[in-house]
């Protein structure tokens, strides 16, 4: 447990130029706090103690401004930068080494049973205010621009920008213009 926490803290220090020390990250970064509470909430959710699961997730939301459903599956080294206003739905799957900025929604676009939220691959960056909706896949290395509304799959190393999001591939001339 402590090794995983140390790994999370080191990832934040590597990716946030404002982070001055491990102590600062541990005590003052909501990303660390919400990850700890999500571990507990997820444990209770998997054991079908839904009230306790939602209690921990709502308490974490109260403290951090980040709402992660206890059923969401989170990988390693996820950095919720600034945190406030982030919403992660029940069937979301997030890979490793992901950076998610404030006001991001990983949500559903309809009320149906089963998988209805996005799957986020490894090494993905999701810009501030982006909305990623529905049972779609954001593949490894993709980037989503600020305030984009993504309603379809984003290929590996692609960039999604706009409302609704337009996909720009690495070999297209506009790629460097939209890279975040």
Active site residues: 117
The SS3 assignment for 15 reads helix
Measured distance CA(100)–CA(78) in Å, rounded:
8
Q: What is the DSSP string of 123-172?
A: S-EE-TT-EEESS-EE-TT-EE-TT-EE-S-B-TT-EEETTTTEEE-TTS
Measured distance CA(132)–CA(4) in Å, rounded:
27
Cα 6 versus chain centre, distance:
19
Dihedral angle of Cα 129, 102, 56, 93, to the nearest 10 degrees: 60
């Amino acid at each position: 447990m402590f090794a995983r926490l140390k790994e999370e803290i080191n990832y934040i220090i590597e990716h946030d130029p404002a982070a001055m020390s491990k102590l600062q990250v541990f005590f003052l970064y909501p990303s660390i706090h919400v990850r700890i509470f999500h571990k507990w909430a997820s444990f209770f959710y998997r054991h079908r103690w839904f009230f306790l699961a939602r209690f921990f997730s709502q308490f974490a939301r109260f403290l951090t401004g980040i709402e992660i459903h206890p059923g969401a599956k989170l990988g390693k080294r996820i950095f919720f930068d600034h945190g406030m206003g982030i919403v992660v739905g029940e069937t979301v799957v997030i890979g490793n080494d992901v950076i998610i900025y404030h006001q991001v929604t990983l949500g559903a676009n309809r009320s149906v049973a089963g998988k209805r939220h996005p799957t986020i691959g490894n090494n993905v960056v999701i810009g501030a205010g982006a909305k990623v909706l529905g049972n779609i896949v954001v593949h490894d290395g993709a980037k989503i621009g600020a305030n984009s509304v993504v309603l379809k799959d984003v290929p590996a190393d692609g960039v999604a920008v706009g409302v609704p999001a337009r996909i720009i591939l690495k070999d297209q001339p506009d790629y460097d213009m939209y890279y975040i």
